[in-house]
Chains A and B, each alone.
Chain A
Amino acid sequence: MSADGNGPNLLEVRGLTKIFGSLKACDNVDLTVGKGEIHALLGENGAGKSTLVKMLFGSLEPYSGEICWNGAPVRIGSPSAAKKLGIGMVFQHFSLFEALSAAENIALSLDDQTPISTIAAKAQALSYSYGLPLDPYSVVGDLSVGERQRIEIIRCLLQKPELIILDEPTSVLTPQEADKLFETLERLRSEGKSILYISHRLEEVKRMCDGATVMRHGKVVGHTDPRKETAASLARMMVGSEVHAVVRDAVEGMDKAEPLLEIRNLNRKPATPFSTPLKHISLNVRAGEVIGIAGVAGNGQGEFFEAVSGEVTQQDAGTIRIRGKDCGRLGITGRRLLGAAFVPEERLGHGAAPRMKLSENLFLSRYATDRKAFLAPGGIIKEGAIDSATQRIIEEMDVRKSGRDPEAAALSGGNLQKFIVGRELDRRPTVMVVNQPTWGVDAGAAAKIRQSLIELARSGSAVLVISQDLDELFEISDAIAVMHNGSLSNPLLRAEATFEKIGLLMGGAEPGHADHTVEVV
Chain B
Amino acid sequence: MLEQIIITIATAATPLLIAAIGELVVERSGVLNLGVEGMMIMGAVSGFGVALTTGSPWLGVFAAIIVGALFSLLFGFLTLTLVTNQVATGLALTLLGVGLSGMIGETLVGQPGVKLENIYIPGLTELPFVGKLFFGQDPIFYISIVLTFAVAWFLFKTRAGLTLRSVGDNHGSAHALGINVIGIRYLAVMFGGACAGLAGGFLSLVYTPQWIENMSAGRGWIALALVVFASWRPLRVLAGAYLFGAVSIGQLHAQALGIGIPSQLLSALPYLATIIVLVLISRNRRLTMINTPASLGRPFVPDR
Contact = CB atoms under 8 A, between A and B. Distances in A.
Chains A, B in direct contact (C-beta < 8 Å): yes
Interface of A: 20, 58-61, 78-80, 91, 94-100, 104, 107-109, 113, 272-274
Interface stretch (B9-17, B50-58, B163-171, B267-275): B163-171
A445 B165 CA distance: 41
Nearest to A58: B178
A94 B174 CA distance: 11
Contacts of A107: 159, 162
B173 A94 contact: yes
A96 B159 contact: no
**Residue from A61, A79, A108 whose CB has the most chain B CB atoms within 10 Å:** A108
B299 interface: no
Given A60-B303, A60-B304, A61-B304, A108 B169 contact: no
Contacts of A272: 285-286, 289
Contacts of A60: 303-304
A79 B178 contact: yes
Contact of A104 (B162, B174, B176, B294): B162
Interface of B: 159, 162-163, 165-166, 169-170, 172-179, 285-286, 289-290, 293-294, 303-304
20 contacts: A58-B178, A79-B176, A79-B177, A79-B178, A80-B178, A95-B172, A96-B173, A97-B166, A98-B169, A98-B294, A99-B290, A100-B166, A108-B162, A108-B163, A108-B166, A109-B177, A272-B289, A273-B286, A273-B290, A274-B289
B303 A108 contact: no
Given A61-B304, A98-B169, 19 more contacts: A58-B178, A60-B304, A78-B178, A79-B177, A91-B176, A94-B173, A95-B172, A95-B174, A95-B176, A97-B169, A99-B293, A100-B165, A100-B166, A108-B166, A108-B174, A108-B179, A109-B177, A113-B159, A273-B286
Nearest to A104: B162
Contacts of B178: 58-59, 78-80
* Nearest 5 pairs of A and B residues by beta carbon: A79-B178, A95-B173, A95-B176, A97-B169, A97-B166
**Which of the listed residues B159, B162, B172, B290 has the most CB atoms from chain A within 10 Å of its own CB?**
B159
Nearest to B179: A108
A150 to B, nearest CB: 16
Nearest to B286: A273
Among A60, A61, A78, A109, find the residue whose CB has the most chain B CB atoms closer than 10 A: A109
B169 A59 contact: no
Contacts of B170: 95-98
A273 B289 contact: yes
A355 B183 CA distance: 29
A272 B166 CA distance: 21
B70 to A, nearest CB: 30
A136 to B, nearest CB: 14
B20 to A, nearest CB: 21
A273 B291 CA distance: 11
A101 to B, nearest CB: 10
A279 to B, nearest CB: 20
Nearest to B178: A79
A45 to B, nearest CB: 18
A7 B175 CA distance: 35
A109 B303 CA distance: 19
Contacts of A109: 177
